[in-house]
Structure 1
């Protein structure tokens, strides 16, 4: 399954190398699109350098701080245009743990939508599952 993880960024140069390493450690077959809002800390330039070393990394440069929601929309449009089978949202600040990605990928094989939430008490849904499918 051709899979894309969309990561909006603004000043995430410090977090991104570790996050991408974690993602690729858990799901090496996936690709990542970083949607950078012209981060003054050099996040976009860092991703450009990382992308030269790893073809699974893609970058979309935006002209300024346009917001999280529009970054995800731009990422989903990219996923559709490039014919990915599945697209996932992930924040760059580690509020979404890469260790859960294999379970998401497994769940999406049997569903149209998979939702995980760090706000669900006890880390499980009322049905007893970590993910709603």
Structure 2
């Protein structure tokens, strides 16, 4: 799993110990739908995974595992963010923030601090 996917989640480790047969079955499904080369390339599949996990408000760690794989595949942080932003119209700001938070922790982009100009009296567009 680690070799093919590029990551292993904590529940995979527990399932390997407690119910390996079911883990194998679910891994076979993931392999067929996600890992094997079919019509969509791996980069596209990673973006779809990131968006679907964002919309479902998956755990930060789960979203981050796919962000790391996407980066390893050569996707840029901006491309990944653009994919996450697709969640806004359909799933809303709260779902978007789930994906954005996971993304920001990985890419470590610093935000801009708001400034107030003395000349605009605090009501300008800065």
TM superposition score normalised by structure 1:
0.30
The structure that is helix-richer by fraction is 2
Q: Greater relative contact order (Cα 8 A, min sep 6): structure 1 or 2?
A: 1
Larger Rg: 2
TM superposition score normalised by structure 2:
0.31
